[in-house]
Amino acid sequence: MTQPFSARPQDLPTKAELARLRVEYVKDSRLSYLGHLDLIATIERCVRRSRLPFSIGNGFARRMRLQFSGALPVGASSCCEYFDLRLTEPVDAKVALDALRAATPRALAPTSASYVPGTLPALEAWLNRATWCVDLSGAGISPASVIEGIESLRADGKLTYLRGDKEKTVSLEQCLVDYSVEAKPDGGVAVGLETRSGNGAFLRPGILLSAAVERIGLEAPSVMRTRRTFQLHEEDGRLVEPFGPFAESHQTPVS
């Protein structure tokens, strides 16, 4: 698809000058097992089906100008995922949302949309706080054992684990903001986590909780269901919701 401008490349609008539509959507049901790259390809097809006037980058690859919030762990669901879509011309946000809903599978359904400032930093880096709900169960796993394991890891100040063949280390002082643990009425344990990401550090709830129970000699949970329930931006002690209100200046470079 050609870029819908006849001007010279140096005269084309910069990315920051284009309309920036932010869309919130769910990732649920079986599509929670859709990998991030497959998710990107699926959303791109949905945007094309919606017939919105999306912008194409002017670089060699000439891809759709589309940015996503941080990737979910495979198998995790969410009620608060986001993508930013650059449009060549503004479309009423409600009209755009209806078009995207009609073109998107229900398990990835958009729930809201609004325009945000074009000069905001890249979405993946900007949304650096998250809230999670994790249900887990297994032999010997109780609220007390989960708390004991998490506190033992926090005393170390870091968590080291294998991701494929590579060893990864995450600072728990930086990435684990807070947590809560309680027994579920039907058995098992419900864990609430507040995490922070930044500088390439990302704490995966499943890895943290598996390491916590294994630290105290228990087997890995037999059942673990993870859901991201909220995403925010944290800057200078201030928490900002994805749709604002926004500060007038931004310390992070614009993407």
pLDDT tens per residue, range 214-252: 999 999 999 999 999 999 999 888 999 999 988 665 554
Assess whether pLDDT exceeds 90 at residue 5. Answer: no
- d(CA 233, CA 166) in angstroms, rounded, equals 29
- CA 113, CA 243: separation in Å to the nearest integer? 9
* Residue-range domain boundaries for the chain: 12-125, 129-235
Q: Is 243 exposed, middle or buried (0-12, 13-18, 19+ CB in 10 A)?
A: middle
Write down the pLDDT at residue 10: 43
Domains 12-125 and 129-235 share a fold: yes
What is the average pLDDT across 135-147? 94
Written as six digits, the tokens of 193 are: 């986590």
Mean pLDDT for the chain overall: 89
- pLDDT of res. 62: 79
The pLDDT tens digits for 127-136 are: 999 999 999 9
pLDDT digits (tens, 9 = 90+) for 113-124: 999 999 999 999
Residues 6 or more apart whose CB falls under 8 angstroms from that of 173 comprise: 154, 157, 158
16 versus 203: the higher-pLDDT residue is 203
- Whether the pLDDT of residue 7 is over 60: the answer is no
CATH number of 129-235: 3.30.70
Percentage with pLDDT > 90 across the chain: 76
Q: Which CATH architecture is the domain 12-125 placed in? A: 2-Layer Sandwich (3.30)
SS3 for the chain is CCCCCCCCHHHCCCHHHCEEEEEEEEECHHHHHCCHHHHHHHHHHHHHHHCCCECECCCCCCCECEEECCCCCCCCEEEEEEEEEEECCCCCHHHHHHHHHHHCCHHHCEEEEEECCCCCECHHHHCCEEEEEEEEECCCCCHHHHHHHHHHHHHHCEEEEEECCEEEEEEHHHHEEEEEEEECCCCCEEEEEEEECECCECCCHHHHHHHHHHHCCCCCCCEEEEEEEEEEEEECCEEECCCCCCCCCCCCCEC
Looking at residue 53, its pLDDT comes to: 97
Give the pTM. Answer: 0.88
CA 1/CA 3 separation, integer angstroms: 7
Q: Among 22, 122, 127, which residue's Cα sits nearest to residue 72?
A: 127
**What's the CA gap between 149 and 191, in Å, rounded?**
13
Distance between CA atoms of residues 202 and 195, nearest Å? 8
Residues 157-200: pLDDT tens digits? 999 988 878 898 999 999 999 999 999 998 899 999 999 998 77
